[in-house]
Structure 1
């Protein structure tokens, strides 16, 4: 977690920073696993019989997988469950952060009036509470990331099955994921965006799809850079 902004400025730097609170949102969940898809229609393992010739021409599609996953019914439910589970912890951290800020404000306002003993006691309290809050925030973020990983493995595996079937049935030779800003796609017409079609197909067929976790060896997990303060 990146450090939060400075709360006050009149005491040593090591006591000035409280780590930012974890936030539950689709982008956070999806950021734990970024799919770079290149789906070849009709592709078969080497030992399989040759696939029937596909249609002439080149049919290319683009999809925003992050949006697709979390706009499915399964994705919306998973996100709601995640919020239900972690929102109490988030509220606790907000309360504790406000408590630290109040003590820091007391220290700052009493810089010229409080006794040395009182200032030292406040400093120890700030230090202890800040360290505990940062430690607990880190632990909560690790738990959140683990839950996110489970969601992405389950829903991502099903989503890939849907995309492969859709692409094969519709004769696509290439489907690119344009969710990530680093995707080297300069322009793509809305007419080749299959995101909505994939969401609809997923919702209709997800219940019958086997759970196939995404292979992290084939598509290494990649964490997006945190937003700047």
Structure 2
């Protein structure tokens, strides 16, 4: 289950570019901004998407959907490990034909495991991409309204691996504000229903702080 959750978070992180590709371009938003002193904010956009109440609920639902497949893969992996240990323990007592037959059975099951795991990952990634893209578009709409209402002229996303933010004061971080604003608009309550594994889906934690000043790494 931890492995499944890790996969969900990894995929969500990797799909940030998909979300930004579906949002209006920065020049359009800037053109509507009033003239005057620049007012800049930063946001961890992919974090905001994933930590909305709707995002937490949707990702938890997706995790539960793939838990039966995860259990099947684990059972097959356990079977392979058992057969491998048996072959190692009994190998010198078996005939060449029996030893070869058991080795082939193990090899076939390994190939089956690899194919099934790859198919499950591709299926999950496809659903994750669709889920994240749809939700990211709606969160962006809330972000767009928020920055206009508060007079921001530029918003930088520091959740990307390559970003221009070296330092930002906490007061400029609007990640939590966007999460809260989206939760109000969507009307989706915070998830508190225990998951299939018995754990409770956590509420959205505080938004992470931007990176502290760091020296430029030579290329």
Instruction: Give the alignment's TM-score, normalised by structure 2.
Output: 0.73
Q: Is the 8 A contact 2:41 2:154 kept in 1?
A: yes
Alignment pair present for 1:102 and 2:85: no
DSSP-derived class of the 1:110 partner: helix
**Corresponding position of 2:14:** 31
Counterpart-to-counterpart distance in 1, 2:156 and 2:91: 59
Mapped partners of 1:190, 1:108: distance in 2: 58
Deviation at 1:58, TM superposition (A): 1.5
- In structure 2, the residue matched to 1:191 is 171
Shift in CA distance, 126/202, structure 1 to aligned 2, threshold 3 Å: same
How much has 1:183 moved relative to structure 2?
A: 2.0
Match of 1:93 in 2: 73
Cα distance, 1:121–1:59 mapped onto 2, change above 3 Å: same
Q: Distance in 1 between matches of 2:60 and 2:86?
A: 38
| 1:59-78 matches, cutoff 5 A | 59-78=39-58
Deviation at 1:52, TM superposition (A): 6.9
TM-score for the superposition, normalised by structure 1 = 0.70
Which of 26, 29, 34 aligns to 1:53? It is 34
CA-CA distance at 1:39 after TM superposition: 4.3
Q: What does 1:215-226 align with in structure 2 at a 5 Å threshold? A: none
Contact 1:39–1:164 under 8 Å retained in 2 = no
Q: CA deviation at 1:160?
A: 1.0
Q: 1:188 to 1:111 in 2, by over 3 A?
A: farther
Query: Are the counterparts in 2 of residues 63 and 175 from structure 1 also a CA contact under 8 Å?
Result: yes
Structure number with the higher helix fraction is 2
CA contact (8 A) 2:39 2:153 kept: yes
1:142 to 96, 116, 122: 122
Contact 1:40 1:174 (8 Å CA) reproduced:
no
Measure how far apart 1:42 and its partner are: 4.9
Worse-matched range after superposition: 186-195 or 124-133: 186-195
Query: In 2, Cα distance between the equivalents of 1:108 and 1:58?
Result: 70
With 56-65 and 154-163 compared, the bigger mean Cα shift is at 56-65
Does the 8 Å CA contact 1:61/1:193 hold for their aligned counterparts?
yes
Structure 2, unaligned runs of 5 or more: 188-219
Determine the structure 1 residue equivalent to 2:191. Answer: none
Q: Is the 8 A contact 1:69 1:159 kept in 2?
A: yes
Change (3 A) 1:188 1:112: farther
What is the root-mean-square deviation of aligned Cα atoms in Å? 2.3
